[in-house]
């Protein structure tokens, strides 16, 4: 049974998707903490309703980014998790934190990486004129959305889409992809080989 900590900055809908799949037994894991940089994040209510401890590391309460980074690292160590999932965590992690939890952090991004990294990925996709977009769950490394890809789910782009309608349809797929990736990690079915995250078949029972 793997221990899971969550980093979130906002509403936490992907967080809720993982909570639901832990609760129904799909994911063999348990939560140790929600860590948020935003004391007003709706994700806090989701955690409290699920009985998950909350750590608020308020970004705006620190004079320097380095102080925030140190406090976040301390909180993550205190969470003592096997896996850290970023579900709408809106700040780049510093290199020290990334190295400390290398191979133990995953993020979800609303595009089919390596295309359209960073913010406003849905708008980037529409501006480029792609016909297929989607979402990617990947390991976190020192780059921006550049870690090994675990799962991708496609979403067809229509001529009537704007970034908001496309984002809504991608979010539906995110709510499937993130729990699936967490399940794979908790079942020890992901093997990192350089650039590739290989998925092992389920163990026979």
Task: Write the CA distances from 115 to 84, 144, 149, integer angstroms.
Answer: 24, 11, 12
**Rounded to 5, what percent of the chain is helix, strand, coil?**
35, 25, 40
Tokens coding 183: 């399940």
Any idea which residues carry the catalytic annotation? 109
Using an 8 Å Cβ cutoff, are 109 and 145 in contact? yes
H-type alpha helices, 80-162: 95-100, 121-128
């Amino acid at each position: 049974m793997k221990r899971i900590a969550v980093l979130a900055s906002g509403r936490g809908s992907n967080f809720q998707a993982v909570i639901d799949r832990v609760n129904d037994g799909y994911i063999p894991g348990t939560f140790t903490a929600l860590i948020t940089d935003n004391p007003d994040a709706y994700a806090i209510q989701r955690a409290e309703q699920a009985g998950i401890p909350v750590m608020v590391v308020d970004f705006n309460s620190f004079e320097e980014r380095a102080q925030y980074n140190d406090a976040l690292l301390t909180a993550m160590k205190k969470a003592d998790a096997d896996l850290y999932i970023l579900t709408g965590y809106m700040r780049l992690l510093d290199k020290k934190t990334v190295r400390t939890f290398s191979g133990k952090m995953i993020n979800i991004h609303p595009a089919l990486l390596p295309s359209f990294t960073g913010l406003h990925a849905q708008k980037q996709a529409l501006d480029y004129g792609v016909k297929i977009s989607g979402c990617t769950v990947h390991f976190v490394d020192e780059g921006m959305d550049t870690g090994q890809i675990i799962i991708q789910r496609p979403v067809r782009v229509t001529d009537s889409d704007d970034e908001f309608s496309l984002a809504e349809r991608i979010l539906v797929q995110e709510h499937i992809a993130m729990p699936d990736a967490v399940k794979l990690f908790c079942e020890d079915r992901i093997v990192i080989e350089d650039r590739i995250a290989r998925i092992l078949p389920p163990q026979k029972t």
